[in-house]
Amino acid sequence: MINLETPRKFRPFVKQAHQVAEEFLRANSRKYDRAEHAYPKELDLLASLVDGMGDSGQSAGAGAAGVRRDDDEAAGSKKVKNGTNMSSVLSIIEMCWADVGLLLSMPRQGLGNSAIASVANEEQLERFKGTWASMAITEPSFGSDSAAITTTAVKDGDAYVLNGEKIFVTAGERSDSVVVWATLDKSLGRAAIKSFLVTKDLPGIRVERLEHKLGIRSSDTAVIVLDNCRVPAENLLGNPEIDTKQGFAGAMATFDNTRPLVAGMAVGCARAALEDTRTLLEEAGVVIDYDRPVQSQSYAAATFIAMEADWEAALLLTLEAAWLADNRKPNSMQASMAKAKAGRVGNDITLRCVELAGTLGYSENELIEKWSRDSKILDIFEGTQQIQQLIIARRLLNLTSSELR
């Protein structure tokens, strides 16, 4: 049974993550929000510290190494486990309490590295250790329907030749490699979609441009073009065989592990907004009384209490999805529920905090206005709100993607 308290073994780590977030990320948050596309060089030292902690076994990093499920360790075991999925989510919550964009800018700690940890074999894990990988899924012709991928990978001797265009690639310029989703055979549909580790030094891959964005401005978001890019065959992550019976499940397993991480980002960002808004309300004389019915309190107090309740629900769903992953239990529906709830709640809370804080919330004197901008992407990437609801409905009704579209 899941215990809702932070596991004792993670408490020192969570405290340390919070201190790092406050001293490194929060301190530089506004600076790099204004200096869009400027590389946050302060993160180099932080990333080295995180790498060192991971190598020493003190932590699982900020998410990169925290999504792999160890079959041998968990198989047949009935012991409740709090492992790398849980520690990664707890770490990300603290980091995004400070700054979502800067977390996404941390070398070797992004969703591309999470994808490697999710699907790579043991040999690949060792060979790609130390790479900074961004993840390239979305294309100009589609948004959240990952099964609509048109980027092709054609086997040619000891290599695959990749052709296509990827958009909205987080850390696409700064990373040294890209996890590219491509199809081996369009006629076989979803089952033929595989992911490839494409290093930036290979001929045929280029960054076309960088996007200007509403939020997470400290994180670079790129358009990447693959033009007859020859990728070594051993860089196909996981099993190269096409299993039509398994369908898209192998590729989608990555999302089961990364969506709780994105939910954690939303939870952390929303918590920051709630904390600052509570301080501003108390300074303005607003009394928030948990012992009185909300209908007998001011609008500001009642709204704040309702937001806290929504935030708590998002947090618990996020922890559940991570706990299920650590304990080798199916979590596809729970991962989507956590992502859907946290993404929607995170954006709703930050916007309402702007509203409650009035002119202070709308100005750059406070970080609340920034968090309201940053939070929107967390309701969109890794599968939009609408896609998550569709996945949840399919699981609840036991319907396939072709039966419920």
Q: Which amino acid is at 150?
A: T
Q: Which residues, 6 or more positions from 147, have their beta carbon under 8 angstroms from its beta carbon?
A: 189, 190, 193, 248, 401
Q: Are 251 and 195 in contact (CB under 8 A)?
A: yes
Question: How far is Cα of residue 297 from the mean position of the Cα atoms in its chain?
Answer: 37
392 φ/ψ sector (left φ>0, alpha ψ -120 to 50, else beta): alpha
Buried b (16+ CB within 10 A) or exposed e, 268-306: bbbbbbbebbbebbeeeebebeeeeebeebeebbbbbee
Question: How far is Cα of residue 270 from the mean position of the Cα atoms in its chain?
Answer: 15
Residue pointed to by tokens 């901008």: 373
Question: How far is Cα of residue 112 from the mean position of the Cα atoms in its chain?
Answer: 10
Which residue is catalytic, options 122, 308, 382, 403?
Answer: 382
Candidates 45, 69, 61, 65; CA nearest to 94 is 61
- What angle do the packed helices 249-283 and 299-326 form, to 10 degrees? 150
Q: Are 173 and 206 in contact (CB under 8 A)?
A: no
- Is 22 annotated as catalytic? no
Candidates 284, 403, 390, 274; CA nearest to 339 is 390
Phi and psi at 163, nearest 5°, equal -135, 130
SS3 47: helix
Cα distance between residue 87 and residue 9, in whole Å: 10
Q: Which residues are catalytically annotated?
A: 382
